[in-house]
Amino acid sequence: MSMTRRKLLAYLGIGSAGIALAACQPKVVEKVVEKVVKETVVVEKEVEKIVKETVVVEKEVAAAAGEVVEIRCTHSWPAELWPRQEQFDDTFNEEHPNIKVVGENVVWGDYVPKLTAGAAAGTMPDLMYCQYAWAQNFIVGRTVISLQPYLNNDPEFWGEEDFNPESLKSYLFKGDLYFIPYDEGPTNMIYYNKRIFDEVGYPYPHSDKDWTYEDMLLAAKELTFGEGNERVWGWNGIPSMGGNLNMDYLATWGGRFWSDPCETESFVHEKEAVECLTWWAAFRLEHKVSPTPAEAETVPGNPFGFGRIAMMRGASWDNRWIHANLKDPYDIAHAYIGPNGKRSSSSMGSGYGITKDTPHREQCWEYLRNYLSTEGQIFVWAAPGVGSTTRWSAYPAYFASPLAPESAEVFMEALQDYAKHEILDSPNGYEITQTANPIWDLALLGELSVQEVCDQISEAVKPVMAKNAQWCEDAGLIE
């Protein structure tokens, strides 16, 4: 165990015997490169080329004894999480005197434009954060390098069985992993406000029985009351045409929006999808148990965080802002059971990769293997209650966090039992959503029927989805 790992655990009060830990000692660069070349010459010419280029760069930039190599890493953290990031980097720098990591926190809305411009101008950082929805564009654009040679030759770090397998899907191209995910969370959990339930005298979700979708609607009706500024809605979580639509909503009805994994065809106009979306649109149009956008804007803050929503569909990472804002007691519960008798949820997350132009690939890998080790994930995400780590071994620390919800184990159970990474993550996924959402809004406004809207959506996204065909073949998603 390196001193960095001991210090991180010491900060958290966790002993080395308390958690099964992956070793984190660096490999000798020359040995790693030699082994990678021997393996990839036979297996994959494209990887062989990348490794050969890496050998040249390493020889050119090999640091002299005592020389400090500076590497830059971009993030996009909320302000309250940045001190934790700085503490990790300070600890890493202290224990790696020949490496200095400089973190840069970029505002979320500016992140993709900034990194895209940097890739074109040759001013990319050495390491970069990446959300699932952007990954394939950065990979196809050759902005980042394959991490597979490092993973193949670092079994102490890459205990693949410790990573949630669903978390890897958005970052693969031709079988190689280009980003290592740090989080993967279920998105179809039920957050509920205990105060509102107690005031109405209604049983908490699944406490009396396993709730079906019909039970959930009945509860939403009973938990909707009041007028004006005293209005409380029973549910918040009407579907949009976003990346979670397939698994959070349509799957248990037997429907789909896009074909997975290639996203080349729309099925949202078909019977099962239309029935599902009609049922959900009624939450707002008929039952009045969900706020309209105009009604939500009358609340000075997020309606659930302000105590005006009894239940909401949420992801594991929503707990961070809920805990910081909601004054009422709350908890989480599993997804409801759908018409097919099963639960369903999408899962999604983000990761980190090494950019192609960095002359310091080995130093970058040393940082990643520390940052995304069990201890790194515990320190940065699990212990602060952010949760949804990709390593199963980090979850006990999350469950023990005072910031985690009472039933935090539900997140891990969902990931292991029914949450799937079937999400819009193709290079054109964002355009699919942007094309479909304005049309879907017409149904939520009651201006067109759900069937009419779904027919229009399938036609509108057809040329967008067609652009994914070549990517699907290039990525090795079809034989």
Q: What is the pLDDT of residues 385-443, one digit of tens each?
A: 988 999 999 999 999 999 999 999 999 999 999 999 999 999 999 999 999 999 999 99
Residues 303 and 444 in one domain: yes
Residues 138 and 255 in one domain: no
What pLDDT is recorded for position 56?
Answer: 35
Residues 150 and 238 in one domain: no
Residue 434 placed within a domain: yes
- Asked if pLDDT for residue 71 goes beyond 80, the answer is yes
What pLDDT is recorded for position 252?
Answer: 98
Cα(first)–Cα(last) distance of the chain, in Å?
Answer: 43
CA distances from 345 to 182, 193, 195, 250 (A): 19, 21, 26, 10
**Interatomic CA distance for residues 242 and 246, integer angstroms:** 9
What pLDDT is recorded for position 394?
Answer: 97
Residues 50 and 195 in one domain: no
Residue 325 placed within a domain: yes
- Asked if pLDDT for residue 209 goes beyond 80, the answer is yes
What pLDDT is recorded for position 386?
Answer: 87
Residues 201 and 178 in one domain: no
Residue 416 placed within a domain: no
Residue 203: closest CA among 310, 303, 326:
310
**Interatomic CA distance for residues 384 and 363, integer angstroms:** 27
Residues 221 and 313 in one domain: yes
Residues 223 and 170 in one domain: no
- pLDDT, one tens digit per residue, over 158-206 is 977 899 999 999 999 999 999 999 999 999 999 999 999 999 999 999 9
- Asked if pLDDT for residue 16 goes beyond 50, the answer is no
**Interatomic CA distance for residues 346 and 429, integer angstroms:** 15
CATH number at residue 194: 3.40.190.10
What sign does the dihedral 8-14-17-18 (CA atoms) show? negative
Residue 54: closest CA among 74, 73, 29:
29
**Interatomic CA distance for residues 399 and 225, integer angstroms:** 34
What pLDDT is recorded for position 84?
Answer: 96
Lowest mean pLDDT: which of 64-78, 84-98, 332-346, 422-436?
64-78
Q: The pTM is what? A: 0.87
- Asked if pLDDT for residue 460 goes beyond 80, the answer is yes
Residues 205 and 340 in one domain: yes
Pinpoint the alpha helices (H) of 179-305.
Answer: 194-200, 213-222, 245, 271-285, 293-297
Give the range of the structural domain holding residue 94, as residue numbers without chain letter: 3-182+351-406
Residues 266, 453: contact at Cβ < 8 Å?
Answer: no
**Interatomic CA distance for residues 388 and 391, integer angstroms:** 9
**SS3 (DSSP) at 367:** helix
Parallel/antiparallel/unpaired status of strands 309-314 and 330-333: unpaired
Residue 209 placed within a domain: yes
What pLDDT is recorded for position 47?
Answer: 32
Residues 109 and 227 in one domain: no
What pLDDT is recorded for position 382?
Answer: 96
Q: How confident is the model over 56-69, as a mean pLDDT?
A: 58
Counting Cβ atoms within 10 Å, is residue 463 exposed (0-12), middle (13-18) or buried (19+)? exposed
Lowest mean pLDDT: which of 32-36, 169-173, 329-333, 446-450?
32-36
Q: How confident is the model over 228-252, as a mean pLDDT?
A: 97
Residue 415 placed within a domain: no
pLDDT band at 12 (very low <50, low <70, confident <90, very high): low
For 288, the token pair is 């009045």
Mean pLDDT score of the chain: 89
Higher pLDDT, 43 or 118: 118
Lowest mean pLDDT: which of 64-73, 137-146, 306-315, 326-335?
64-73
Residue 166 placed within a domain: yes
Residues 46 and 66 in one domain: yes
Parallel/antiparallel/unpaired status of strands 345-354 and 419-420: parallel
**Interatomic CA distance for residues 305 and 295, integer angstroms:** 15
What is the DSSP code (8-state) at residue 81?
G
pLDDT band at 11 (very low <50, low <70, confident <90, very high): low
**Interatomic CA distance for residues 416 and 149, integer angstroms:** 28
What pLDDT is recorded for position 9?
Answer: 58
Residue 388 placed within a domain: yes
Q: Tell me how many domains the chain contains.
A: 2
Q: Which amino acid is located at 213 in the chain?
A: Y
**SS3 (DSSP) at 175:** coil
